[in-house]
Amino acid sequence: MSTLNFCRECNNLLYPQVDRSNQVLLYACKNCNYHEEAAHNMVFRNDLVAVSKEQPGVIDKLMTDPTMPRTNEHACPACGADEAVYFQDQSKRTFNRMTLFYVCCSCNKLFTDAIEDPEINA
């Protein structure tokens, strides 16, 4: 976890700076000439978490959004109503086909057009 470092002389924020001649990372004050060597050579770390499965995201009140596309071609597996709003799966993939998520306008049930997915169509 990264922490903020403050100058011991003027209490201003210390900024990362590279000392190229000695090949070390320093934290330096922009207000005075104070600097200190960094305890670690990493300033920032950004961990990306890969999502391996389709996730529909927020679906509350999606059927009331007038900008959402609608269809009458897919019946809801829960109530049988044929009007639904739909949206595309947001994950990036190169080998699987695109998945469309449908939200029933009658019962707010989420379902897909994919070949039986027991976790989503349950």
Same domain, 92 and 66: yes
10 pLDDT tier (thresholds 50, 70, 90): very high
| 75, 82 Cβ separation under 8 angstroms | yes
Q: How many domains does the chain have?
A: 2
| Binding-site residues from annotation for Zn(2+) | 7, 10, 29, 32, 76, 79, 104, 107
Residue type, 70: R
Please say if the pLDDT value at position 3 is more than 70: yes
Mean pLDDT to the nearest integer, 33-37: 92
83 pLDDT tier (thresholds 50, 70, 90): very high
1 pLDDT tier (thresholds 50, 70, 90): very low
Task: Identify the domain containing residue 23 by its residue range.
Answer: 1-47
User: Which pLDDT tens digit goes with each residue over 107-119?
Assistant: 888 888 765 444 5
| Binding-site residues from annotation | 7, 10, 29, 32, 76, 79, 104, 107
